[in-house]
Structure 1
Amino acid sequence: MVGVVLRNVTKRWGSFTGVHAVDLVIGDREFVVFLGPSGCGKTTTMRMIAGLEDPSDGEILIGDRVVNDLEPKDRDVAMVFQNYGLYPNLTVYENIRFPLKVRRVDASTHDARVRKAAAMVELGDLLHRRPKELSGGQRQRVALARAIVREPAVFLMDEPLSNLDAKLRVSTRAQIKNLQHELKVTTIYVTHDQIEAMTLADRVVVMNKGRFQQVGTPTEIYDRPANTFVAGFIGSPAMNLMDGAVAAGVFEAPGVRVPGLVGYPDGPATLGFRAEDAEVAAGPGGEIAAPVYSIELLGDATLVSVRVGPALVAARAPKTFRAEIGDPVSFRIGAAGCHVFDSASGERIEPAPAMASPGPARADLGSTMPIGATA
């Protein structure tokens, strides 16, 4: 089994710390995506795994080996860069073959391995061309094939799709996911694009300011964000966030009143909900009522935005919904679709568990019986 382990890994440059004591265990054959805004430390973390940067503290293991002191060529990893890194004077065939020559792999195996890697990314009929004769998508596939031909223990991909147009991103994203499934190789992928992260990853590592904010499956991170940063970064559109206060199970802010938040402590709080968890209706009513700020036709739905205090709040309406800017609308938000965060720290707040009713358990209590109780 070949996984990757980070133990208390830190990277400092003088007084500036780019990565703060991160810990992570990546399983064999797992596809993990490092996600975050520019400058958050995700590429630095990958470069330390690759051996292109030395950690200031901590240990990095690939398989059962501590690799801190190993050269990049000795770590058995293959890296795909954002800028492709192709040799312009070499053909596609020779670009793919180059890692085999550098590593002095038996020359008799080169042709078969090059053609197999090229076929995996549908480049079999382009092997005679040079990079300048290829499209951006084709160049990226050459870079992928060059990594594949190595047959490494770990793939490292640093924003490989950022130079492609939207249509090519979709098709190349699907190709990368399928390749990882076929090759069954541990893969670490860096991106600032949350759609790439959500569609590709087995697990996502959300980073900000050199720290891990949350590690989990795409579903876990989308459904239960650990803090307001994750909530506001994941999703398209991002989760709506409004500052206010909870009192006796009711969240209130200027223009907002959401009841039913049972079990949450009283005090200042940030309320979050996703656009698809609200219903839009014309006219007043609901938990939020305000004039339309903007309206966007998305094809399968209509995104309606209103301004509530300083916050711009969006809800997803049916594609047939029509309104003009300035028209009164209302959003209905069920408590079940709400998330509550601490206003000061931004951390998620979980409601206190409901108290069991006093007295002996009875069969006719139905769903109110405590778990494990018998009639």
Structure 2
Amino acid sequence: MARLQLKNVNKRWGTFVGVENFDLDIADQEFLVLLGPSGCGKSTTMRMIAGLEDVTDGEILLGDRVVNKLEPKDRDISMVFQSYGLYPNLSVYENIRFPLRVRKVPREQHDDMVMRAVRMVELEDFMHRRPAELSGGQRQRVALGRAIVRKPTVFLMDEPLSNLDAKLRVSTRAQIKNLQSKLKVTTVYVTHDQIEAMTLADRVVVMNAGKIQQVGTPTEIYDNPANTFVASFIGSPAMNLVEGTLKDGVFQGEGIRVEGLPTDVSGNITLGFRAEDAEIIEGPGNISAPVYSIELLGEASMITWRLGGALVSIKTNKEYRAEIGETVNARIPSNICHLFDTVSGAVVAHG
């Protein structure tokens, strides 16, 4: 069983706090994604799990065993790095085989174990090539093969797709999801890309400034963000956020007015709604303002207004056309609006 627990884990360098009170229980075989901007503490958290960084306070447990003081090689964890970390003078076969040699796995078992991994990452035709002869996607598959060859208890993946182009990211993402499903190994995956998080994860941990902002399934985090940071980080485009005031169920902001909201909330409020949940209309609506930009996305068009200091976008059908500067109206149903405290950013009410 590969249940992984982090109990009130902290990481400090002098007065600088990298990770603060990280408390999480990761289930056996779960695919967990740590998501957040650069510098939020996600890679530091992964490096503490791997044993590459010491824990300042708290405990990390693998199964029932506290592993804080164990060397990385004794934790039965495999890690895939952003930079691949391949040996340039070794073939694909020998790169994948290398962990078996280091761990002194009996030599007679090597070929079967390596070939199993090679087949899983679909590199049978490239076994005798060296890394310089491979594409970026193929090198990443070698790194994956090397990680899975010895059947570790936990996989750690630190932004493994960030060096790939957009097309390769999509195909390699699908392969990672498929591999994890077949291998049934607990996986912790670090990324700053919310699309990767939404498509890969069983659960997502959104981090900022060293702290957990929200933990949940991709659907929970997308539909019910805990604060304005999560709302602005998840989604493509991110949730629209407009500051204003709420009184007697009526929200009023610059260029926007929405009625029918909760009457038990009042004061300075940030209104949030998703681009796909509102609609362009002909008559009077909640927004009536000049178009700031229009973008054809392929499957839809995106209309954007500037309302005060905020850019607000709504998706509409791909045939829709409007000129920049033309006044366009939009309707925002009150039941899809999220309300956040403008000062703290915490959610007050969900639509």
The alignment's TM-score, normalised by the length of structure 2, stands at 0.99
Alpha-carbon offset, residue 254 of structure 1: 1.6
Per-residue CA deviation, residues 266-303 of structure 1 (Å, 9 max, x unaligned), is 11100000000110135x62101111100000111000
Alpha-carbon offset, residue 63 of structure 1: 1.1
| Alignment length (residue pairs) | 351
Per-residue CA deviation, residues 192-221 of structure 1 (Å, 9 max, x unaligned), is 000000000000000000000000000000
Confirm or deny: 8 A CA contact 1:35 1:191 kept in the other structure: yes
> Which runs of structure 1 show a deviation greater than 4 angstroms over 4 or more consecutive aligned residues?
none
1:28-67 to 2 correspondences below 5 Å: 28-67=28-67
SS at match of 2:84: coil
Q: Which runs of 5+ in 1 are unaligned?
A: 353-375
Amino acid in the other structure paired with 1:349: V
1:1-375 to 2 correspondences below 5 Å: 1-282=1-282, 285-350=284-349
What CA distance in whole angstroms lies between the structure 2 residues aligned with 1:165 and 1:182?
26
Confirm or deny: 8 A CA contact 1:5 1:60 kept in the other structure: yes
Alpha-carbon offset, residue 350 of structure 1: 2.6
What CA distance in whole angstroms lies between the structure 2 residues aligned with 1:327 and 1:350?
33
SS at match of 2:348: coil
What CA distance in whole angstroms lies between the structure 2 residues aligned with 1:10 and 1:288?
45
What CA distance in whole angstroms lies between the structure 2 residues aligned with 1:169 and 1:350?
36
Confirm or deny: 8 A CA contact 1:42 1:190 kept in the other structure: yes
Bigger mean CA offset, 247-256 vs 81-90: 247-256
Confirm or deny: 8 A CA contact 1:264 1:350 kept in the other structure: no
Confirm or deny: 8 A CA contact 1:263 1:351 kept in the other structure: no
Find the counterpart in structure 2 of residue 358 from structure 1. none
Find the counterpart in structure 2 of residue 359 from structure 1. none
In percent, how many aligned pairs have the same letter? 69
Q: Which runs of 5+ in 2 are unaligned?
A: none
Alpha-carbon offset, residue 263 of structure 1: 4.0
What CA distance in whole angstroms lies between the structure 2 residues aligned with 1:265 and 1:207?
28
What CA distance in whole angstroms lies between the structure 1 residues aligned with 2:345 and 2:268?
11
Confirm or deny: 8 A CA contact 1:262 1:351 kept in the other structure: no
SS at match of 1:150: coil
What CA distance in whole angstroms lies between the structure 2 residues aligned with 1:269 and 1:258?
12
Alpha-carbon offset, residue 86 of structure 1: 0.2
Amino acid in the other structure paired with 2:262: V
SS at match of 1:349: strand
Per-residue CA deviation, residues 12-49 of structure 1 (Å, 9 max, x unaligned), is 00110000111000000000000000000000000000
Distance 1:123 1:60, change over 3 A: same
SS at match of 1:23: strand
The alignment's TM-score, normalised by the length of structure 1, stands at 0.92
Per-residue CA deviation, residues 292-329 of structure 1 (Å, 9 max, x unaligned), is 10000011100000011111000001111001101110
Confirm or deny: 8 A CA contact 1:280 1:331 kept in the other structure: yes
Confirm or deny: 8 A CA contact 1:245 1:266 kept in the other structure: yes
What CA distance in whole angstroms lies between the structure 2 residues aligned with 1:351 and 1:249?
14
Amino acid in the other structure paired with 2:315: R
SS at match of 1:241: strand
What CA distance in whole angstroms lies between the structure 1 residues aligned with 2:110 and 2:69?
30
Alpha-carbon offset, residue 331 of structure 1: 1.3
Bigger mean CA offset, 247-256 vs 157-166: 247-256
Confirm or deny: 8 A CA contact 2:4 2:26 kept in the other structure: yes
What CA distance in whole angstroms lies between the structure 1 residues aligned with 2:336 and 2:264?
14
Amino acid in the other structure paired with 1:319: K
What CA distance in whole angstroms lies between the structure 2 residues aligned with 1:78 and 1:214?
26
Per-residue CA deviation, residues 218-258 of structure 1 (Å, 9 max, x unaligned), is 00000000000000000000000000111001111121110
Distance 1:351 1:44, change over 3 A: closer
| RMSD across aligned positions (CA) | 1.0
What CA distance in whole angstroms lies between the structure 2 residues aligned with 1:339 and 1:331?
17
SS at match of 1:109: helix
What CA distance in whole angstroms lies between the structure 2 residues aligned with 1:95 and 1:130?
9
What CA distance in whole angstroms lies between the structure 2 residues aligned with 1:63 and 1:167?
37
Alpha-carbon offset, residue 351 of structure 1: 7.0
